[in-house]
Structure 1
């Protein structure tokens, strides 16, 4: 696709693809760190507990055994300790009450006769049982010290030390396996994160390109995104929006074309009449007066078209209006009085049946506009000696205003179009009657603005029937009676 004007290319470091990929990687990295630490720490803690408990119980056994002698000597300690068989499992170290080493099963260290400078021994000589364990250099190092008590007196201590490389190797193997699993997961996550982020951002990119295309005026463009997630719903909403934009643009172009045509006709007539006056020497004054009168009529027609276009433009802008309770019957009566001269000139009788108490939430000017357009059309497009019937009544939650005439009626094929702007059933007759093709559009848009609707149909006895339905205004105590 060609690069669209104004479509700035986003650097990769600021792209959604990178952000999504980094998000996936960071989350998985946090999970892997937890996977590589928590099980190991739990395993270490379990081993520490078991080792401390074991060494402490063994040290207590040795301490209880050698406590049988009143005075600790190297020979006596050796005689008590070695038969127990612990020296092959642990390093056994026994001191007197001053910390002097009396016995050490590790003969290679040559510690006998020295003082044990160990924290555990110091704590044990003070009467405390001590047990510690640590994991270092791939092995578990466990220590335990208990006091040797004879007649409630501490006469020495027993210190045990164990280095367990087997369980350390097992923990190291667990760590190695976890690292291998983590490495495989990292590679898979990296590949999948790139794949999914690219797939996601590609769909977002399709939407972005579609928006830019539509921004350039290609309202017929549609975007296709498969799936049932939010992005596919967004694509559907976008397509519906472009449908409306395309429809609106077509209506706008047709409206501009129709408006230009409607304005061009009276302007051309005015230009023709003025040229005739200017180019004809010695024109008869009566003819000049007729031409000027025609120019005035065309100017009045231009004024009517301009005023109705302004009315439609104000409604299209959806500017908020201040509404108030309006008695529809009073408005219809006022319109009837205004149309009496026109109806009299055309020998048209106007009959009204107005139910009192029909109140709607609107503006008086808007209701006047609706009633005047419908009743004026019923008079203008009627047959000489015809009738206009205006009925107003309340029906449930609705207020219904019905205007009927005994004219020639509207063909069935034209009924769906009569509310379109500048549409005329009989253009020649409409222009002769001074119509602009905008009155019914104003009626429809004004009714919609106040929550109402208008319909049109042919009468079986001849003529047309227009009906406007408004929501009934509700008072605080309930519907208006």
Structure 2
């Protein structure tokens, strides 16, 4: 004996392929880009601002010094030193003044080290040249500025020519080493790094939280799909929020509602079909066993049993044919349609059923209007008319009447089949088009009914865009009404073109 069937576990999603990780990574990537910009743009902008400030400041200082020196007709070491001693060095690290050949006439570093008062003998002259590219550029008549930021220190140099009456008589070169501004910029970078670390930690926590919150609803939907896939059609999702996920949950619940309804209809149909097929099969089996077990059965009794077996076989055949017809209606698309006159089809169905009506003592009265054309197939319309008229004859009283009429009503063509028969109770009217539903089962079986004729008629009508209703007919009986869109012929395009 087989054990209980175990549920198949769902497929495990790889960690890096999960939506939660993807959402978290997307958040992290976005914030990483933001942090990179936060750590680069302000620093670069601050450096550029400081470079610009220093360029303007140093150029202004060189211009002032050059203006003071250009009053000298020629530059000598003593004259330059006298002028430079009167000027403020403005916090500069070094100041050089050269002649047109680049020979250093004044160096602030050496000037600060000399002690004029204690020098007894003059030093022997020594010659040094300022071999700096800034000085070379200045002696060519250019204002030069360079600045760099290394090891938390700004090092800036500037040079300008000294011009007297249009002639370059020398150059001035200044050097500034600014550690204070460098420390300020370094502190800014350190603060940005600290802020970035805090933001990164907060981003990691928030991205994990939000991605888990978002994917939790997706995981719940996935679990619900698996549960429904295992046959538990009563499972529903709890709808939270008003976003797209809530709409998906609502659509899922509506889908499971339809699946549950379809499954219930299928089970009921299978149960009813099994019951309907079981009854004639049981009768055939019982009659056959009676013939086989009774050795003394006479010929007339055996003939009667065989006749009953044939009747049950015919009934089984009708049920099978109706089931096949319903299956075709459920699974196959509508066939090739064409304009068909419903009055002519109804008249043919009445002609075919007249012998049955005469045998039952029922009169058929017809009122078939001309030019009642619908788009359908002749076979489908005939089956609808035949089923409705046959039911009206079968479930009528001897001496009763059946009324068949076809007419146009605005843009529709209506078929009405009424009778003076037993009628249908009000509470049963909504159910009579259900498969295997019969109001009076004993009378239906006696009349050879299968409980599928009205279902076939309804499905066939719907396939062609029509509708069907049933209501009590006063003073007695039942009235079935079928409506189809009226067919209107379209004018030939070729004829319109010729016109």
TM-score, scaled relative to structure 1: 0.89
Whether 2:99 is the aligned partner of 1:85: answer no
Which structure has the larger Rg over C-alpha atoms?
2
Among residues 316, 319, 331, which one is paired with 1:305 in the alignment?
Answer: 319
Q: CA deviation at 1:194?
A: 1.8
CA distance in 1, matches of 2:100, 2:278: 123
Whether 2:46 is the aligned partner of 1:32: answer no
Among residues 38, 42, 54, which one is paired with 2:45 in the alignment?
Answer: 42
Whether 2:83 is the aligned partner of 1:64: answer no
Q: CA deviation at 1:355?
A: 4.1
Q: How do residues 181-330 of structure 1 correspond to structure 2 at under 5 angstroms? A: 181-281=195-295, 283-317=297-331, 319=333, 321-330=335-344
CA distance in 2, matches of 1:74, 1:428: 138
Among residues 75, 78, 82, which one is paired with 1:75 in the alignment?
Answer: 78
In the alignment, what sits opposite 2:476? 462
CA contact (8 A) 2:160 2:172 kept: yes
CA distance in 1, matches of 2:36, 2:42: 11
Unaligned runs of 5+ in 2: 1-5, 114-125, 493-499
Whether 2:445 is the aligned partner of 1:400: answer no
CA distance in 1, matches of 2:281, 2:112: 122
CA distance in 1, matches of 2:111, 2:320: 116
Greater CA drift, 360-369 or 101-110: 101-110
Q: CA deviation at 1:256?
A: 0.8
In the alignment, what sits opposite 2:184? 170
Residues 347-393 of structure 1: per-residue CA shift (max 9 Å, x gap):
33333334444444433333333222222212221222322223333
Q: CA deviation at 1:477?
A: 6.4
CA contact (8 A) 1:219 1:243 kept: yes
Among residues 423, 427, 443, which one is paired with 1:413 in the alignment?
Answer: 427
Greater CA drift, 438-447 or 72-81: 72-81
Residues 229-287 of structure 1: per-residue CA shift (max 9 Å, x gap):
22222222222222222221111111111101101111112222222333333543333
CA contact (8 A) 2:92 2:174 kept: no
Q: CA deviation at 1:82?
A: 4.0
Greater CA drift, 301-310 or 190-199: 190-199
For these two proteins, the number of residue pairs brought into alignment is 476
Among residues 413, 420, 441, which one is paired with 2:455 in the alignment?
Answer: 441
In the alignment, what sits opposite 1:144? 158
Among residues 386, 389, 393, which one is paired with 2:403 in the alignment?
Answer: 389
SS at 1:144 equivalent: strand
CA distance in 2, matches of 1:231, 1:338: 59
CA distance in 1, matches of 2:91, 2:468: 105
Q: CA deviation at 1:187?
A: 1.7
TM-score, scaled relative to structure 2: 0.86
Residues 401-459 of structure 1: per-residue CA shift (max 9 Å, x gap):
33222212110111111111100000011111111111111222223333333222112
Q: How do residues 129-140 of structure 1 correspond to structure 2 at under 5 angstroms? A: 129-140=143-154
CA distance in 2, matches of 1:425, 1:311: 22
Q: CA deviation at 1:164?
A: 2.8
- 1:108 to 1:454, Cα distance in 2 relative to 1, 3 A: farther
SS at 2:481 equivalent: strand
CA distance in 2, matches of 1:473, 1:68: 112
- 1:475 to 1:181, Cα distance in 2 relative to 1, 3 A: farther
Q: Over the residues paired in the alignment, what is the CA RMSD in angstroms?
A: 2.8
- 1:74 to 1:474, Cα distance in 2 relative to 1, 3 A: farther
In the alignment, what sits opposite 1:426? 440
CA distance in 2, matches of 1:338, 1:124: 122
Q: CA deviation at 1:321?
A: 4.1
CA distance in 2, matches of 1:70, 1:399: 121
CA distance in 2, matches of 1:325, 1:415: 32
- 1:471 to 1:180, Cα distance in 2 relative to 1, 3 A: farther
CA distance in 2, matches of 1:206, 1:80: 87
